[in-house]
Structure 1
Amino acid sequence: MTIDVSAERVIPFPPERVAAYAMDWRHDTDWTQGIRRAELTREADDGGFGVGAEVERTVHFLGRHIDYVLRVASYDFPRLLDMVSVASPVPMHVTYAFEPHADGTRARIRVRGGPGGVYRPAAPIMARHVRSNIGKDLRDLERRLTEHTG
């Protein structure tokens, strides 16, 4: 079974503001469900954060700690951040998209991949948890941005 889940939410801030926070790996642990640690382990091909950069994350998911590395495949601030796993027990492709909306920004997260090895039997459960988590991520992203405005 392949996982392909997405969630979206309209956040009442401009895309540049939403993307600046969400696309900064240093905020991953603040708004992304289960992430306990995020560390930039490789800079982009032209330095800093962008295409080619790699972020190593430790996540607590379904009762386990999982370490994985995501490489930035596409980066178009403030519109798109697309990352693929390069070291992970669960191959994944994560896309964050931000577009203008009459009420602020339409923020979307899409997670695709397929659990391999020991995780394969858990695919349906993983899909439900991922869908729930990315919905919560967007809620928490809005909450964090609202807190930083106050």
Structure 2
Amino acid sequence: MSIDETAERLIPLPPERVAAYAMDWRHDHEWTQGIRRAELTREAPGGGFGVGAEVTRTAYFLGKRIDYVLRVAGYEPLRLLDMVSVAGPMPMHVTYTFAPRQNGTLARIRVRGEAGGHYRLAAPLMARKVRGSIGKDLADLERVLTPAS
């Protein structure tokens, strides 16, 4: 069963701040639901982070530890980060986009995947959980970037 969920949020900050922070894998655990650890496990062919780089994430989903690897398939700094899983419990595709708006940045997360094996039975629950999680991710991203004064 396919999962295709999208969340978006207008964050009242410029894309230079929002996208730069969100696209930096070192911050994943600070705003992304369930992620306890993220590590750059393969650099891009030209070095550093970019197309071809791989980030290994350790997360907890539905009470279970999940380790998965996302490979950067598309990268346009301050605009787009597109990643596909190359190792993990199910194939998935995660896309972050950031667009300037008059009042800030429109941040969007889209998660697509195929729930197979024992995840197939839980696919409807997983879709709802993913939808809620990515919505909370964007709220947490805003919270982290605009702390109360």
| Class of the TM-score when normalised by the shorter of the 2 chains | over 0.9
Q: Calculate the aligned-residue CA RMSD, in Å.
A: 1.0
Task: Among all aligned residue pairs of Structure 1 and Structure 2, give the percentage whose two residues are the same amino acid.
Answer: 74
Superimposed CA distance per residue, residues 48-98 of structure 1 (whole angstroms, 9 cap, x where no aligned partner): 100000000011001111110000000001100000000011110000000
- The alignment's TM-score, normalised by the length of structure 2, stands at 0.98
Unpaired runs of at least 5, structure 2: none
Q: Which residue number corresponds to residue 36 of structure 1?
A: 36
The offset of 1:141, in angstroms, is: 0.2
Partner residue, 2:83: 83
* Structure-2 separation of matches of 1:64 and 1:83: 22
More helix by share: 1
Looking at structure 2, the residues matched to 125 and 132 of structure 1 have their Cα atoms a distance apart, in angstroms, of 11
Matches within 5 A, 1:1-150: 1-147=1-147
Tell me the distance in 2 between the aligned counterparts of 1:55 and 1:118.
Answer: 25
**Which structure 1 residue ranges, 4+ long, deviate > 6 Å from structure 2?**
none
Deviation at 1:128, TM superposition (A): 0.2
Which amino acid letter does the alignment assign opposite residue 34 of structure 2? G
State the aligned residue count. Answer: 149
Query: What amino acid does structure 2 have at the position aligned with 1:78?
Result: L
Gaps of 5+ in 1: none
